[in-house]
Amino acid sequence: MNQTFDFHRFGLMLKLDLAEKGKNNLGMAALLVVVLLLMMLPVATSSTYNGIFEALHYIALFMILLLGSSLYTSSVFTSYASPSTGMAALMVPASTIEKFLSALFLNLLFIIPFLLFFLELHFLTLNYANENFPPNSHKYDPLPNDLIQYICYSYALIQGSIFLGSIYFTKASYIKSAAADIAIYFILVMFQVTLATNMTGDFDKVVTFPFAGWKLWDFGKDSKFFFVNYPDNFQLLIYIFPALILLSLWFITYLRLKEKEI
């Protein structure tokens, strides 16, 4: 098979992937959208602040991070997991790059709208509820910009790691990939919290995550809060570094798929 990229074959490969996975993906999409609406729309019906309704938005966020990206991505290369389906996948008359880009494009086509849909619904419902609250009443707080930025980082990196795991692990790829992600994330969080604690002194509470600033609380007589962010000249690297990790994960996935093809 010619290993050069051809747009016609790429289009045919997309049609094949849509025929095999499109119906299942649309079914999962419909289910997730319904669940999101059930969890996020009640806040728009409240006439006063309701902590339970606000908590549902954070539960929906957790669901999007775990299911919106990883659930779809974990099944991208399942056809290579068993000898029977793997042989059929290898015999498809398309180059490795066409198979890779088709799988990646179809995956992104479904998972990116989920994140955008959640963010749009989050701000729309909270703003609508706040506008109908009585004056001077406690209002809902939308997600801050730094958290949205971190959510986007996490969403992309989860996709990349599960994308790689779906072709790297032949059995229980989702469980193994998720376990590896959790272990790596836990190590990074512990490292950053330890670093922040050692460098800033004795604070009562320290909260920080990978690729994010440090939030420090002192609950003494004069309660104080500090937010330590990266320097402006270093901030650009914080934006670029997750993107480089994601591209690296995609490239390693391509190499792994190429090995399968060989």
Instruction: Check residue 86 and give its pLDDT.
Output: 65
**Per-residue pLDDT tens digits for 143-194:** 888 788 888 888 998 999 988 888 888 777 788 888 888 888 888 888 888 8
- The kind and range of the H/E element at 224 are strand 224-228
Instruction: Check residue 190 and give its pLDDT.
Output: 85
More confident site: 81 or 46 = 46
- The kind and range of the H/E element at 230 are none
- Taking residues 64-84, report their average pLDDT: 76
Instruction: Check residue 82 and give its pLDDT.
Output: 65
More confident site: 70 or 235 = 70
More confident site: 86 or 113 = 113
**Mean per-residue pLDDT over the chain, rounded:** 83
3-state class of 26 per DSSP?
Answer: helix
Instruction: Check residue 179 and give its pLDDT.
Output: 86
Instruction: Give strand ranges (E) for 137-240.
Output: 205-208, 214-218, 224-228
Lowest mean pLDDT among 4-13, 48-57, 156-165, 205-214: 205-214
**Cα 14 to Cα 222: distance, rounded to the nearest angstrom:** 61
| pLDDT band for position 204 (cuts 50, 70, 90) | confident
